[in-house]
Amino acid sequence: MEGEDVFHVTDYVRTRPLFWLAALFVAATLLLSGWQGLRSLLGMGVSLVVILFFIVPQILDGRNPLIVAILGSVVMMGISLYLVYGWNSKTHVAVAGLLLSLIVTGLLAVWVWSVNWTRLSGFGAEEAGFLQVAGVQLDTRGLLLAGIIIGTLGALDDIAIGQSSTIFELRKANPDLTWLELFRHGMTVGRDHIAAMVNTLLLAYVGAALPLVLMFSVFAEPVGVTINREIIAEEIVRTLVGSLGLLAGVPLTSVIAAYAARRDASSQGRTPE
C-alpha cells in the first residue's frame, strides 16, 4: 500500500563470516611471514586498486582490453615485487622477465585469434552476454585475451622472482661461474619450476570450471563434441596459452638474470647481493 515500506529478501548477509575469514588470512600471513608478509598484503592491495580503478574502468570505456591488461599487470607486479623484495638487481631482473613474458603471452594470444584458429567469439562465459544485454559495448575477444594475461600473472610472478633469485644465489655461491654456466644451472632449476607451475595453472582453471565439467560429464557427450563447445574450448585455450607464457618466462628471466649477475659482479668488484 502507498506509504508503506516494501522489503525484498534477496540473499543471506555474509559480511561477518567474510570479514573473519579475511582477518584469519591476514593474521596467518603476518604470523608466518612477518614484515615481508605485510609487504605482500600491501602488494595485494595495490593489485586490487589497479584492477578496480584502472583495468575495469578502462575496459568499460572501450579501450583495448589486451593492452590495458598488460599495462595494468606490469604496474601491479612491478609495485608488488619492489614492495616485497626491495629495489635491487634481483627485483629489476624479475620485473624485466615478467614484462617480456607478458608480451610473449599477449602476442601468442593475439596470433591464435588473428589466424582464426579456434573461432572463439568470447561469449563462452554467460557474463559476457549479460554485459552486452546491459548495453555495455565490449570487445569480447579482447576481454578473453585480457583474462588470459591476468590469469597467468600470479604464476609468472612466481617464476620470474624464483629464477632471478636462484641465479643470483648461484653467482654468490660460486663467483667463478660464467654467464653460460649460470644460465644452464638456472634452467635446471627452472625445468622443475615449469612442471609445478603448469600443473598449478591447469588445476586453477579446472577448479574454477569444475561445475561446468561435471555438467558435461552428466550429459555423457562424446569427448570430441564436448571440447568443441565454446565454453570448454575457452578454458582449454586459456590453459594452453597461459602455459606457453610460463614456459617462455623461464628462459627469458634466466638469460637476463645471468647477464645481470655477471655484470653486477664485474662493475662492483664483488659478488652480487
For residues 195-212, give the mean pLDDT: 77
Structural domain contains residue 51? yes
pLDDT, tens digit (0-9, with 9 covering 90-100), for 45-81: 999 999 999 999 998 888 888 889 989 998 998 899 9
Structural domain contains residue 136? yes
At 124, is the secondary structure helix, strand, or coil? coil
Residues near 147 by beta carbon (within 8 Å), at least 6 away in sequence: 69, 238
CATH code (residue 209): 1.20.1640
Residues near 36 by beta carbon (within 8 Å), at least 6 away in sequence: 84
Alpha helices in the chain (DSSP H): 15-50, 56-60, 65-85, 89-114, 126-133, 140-173, 179-208, 210-219, 223-228, 230-268
pLDDT at 1 over 70: no
Structural domain contains residue 96? yes
The DSSP annotation for 170-221 comes to: HHHH-TT--HHHHHHHHHHHHHHHHHHHHHHHHHHHHHHTHHHHHHHHHHT-
Give the C-alpha separation, 32 to 41, whole Å. 13
Better pLDDT: 258 or 198: 258
Give the C-alpha separation, 231 to 112, whole Å. 17
Total domains, the chain: 1
Better pLDDT: 20 or 122: 20
pLDDT value of position 100:
93
Find the domain containing 54 and state its range.
35-268
Structural domain contains residue 5? no
Structural domain contains residue 88? yes
CB 78 within 8 A of CB 155: no
Q: Pick the closest to residue 137 from 69, 65, 66 (CA basis).
A: 65
Least confident of 103-112, 154-163, 168-177: 103-112
User: Hunting for cell 632471478 — which residue is that?
Assistant: 164
Better pLDDT: 94 or 143: 94
For residue 118, give the DSSP letter: S
pLDDT, tens digit (0-9, with 9 covering 90-100), for 19-49: 999 999 999 999 998 998 999 999 999 999 9
Structural domain contains residue 13? no
Q: Pick the closest to residue 145 from 263, 237, 41 (CA basis).
A: 237
CB 100 within 8 A of CB 246: no
Structural domain contains residue 260? yes
Structural domain contains residue 22? no
User: Hunting for cell 628462459 — which residue is that?
Assistant: 251
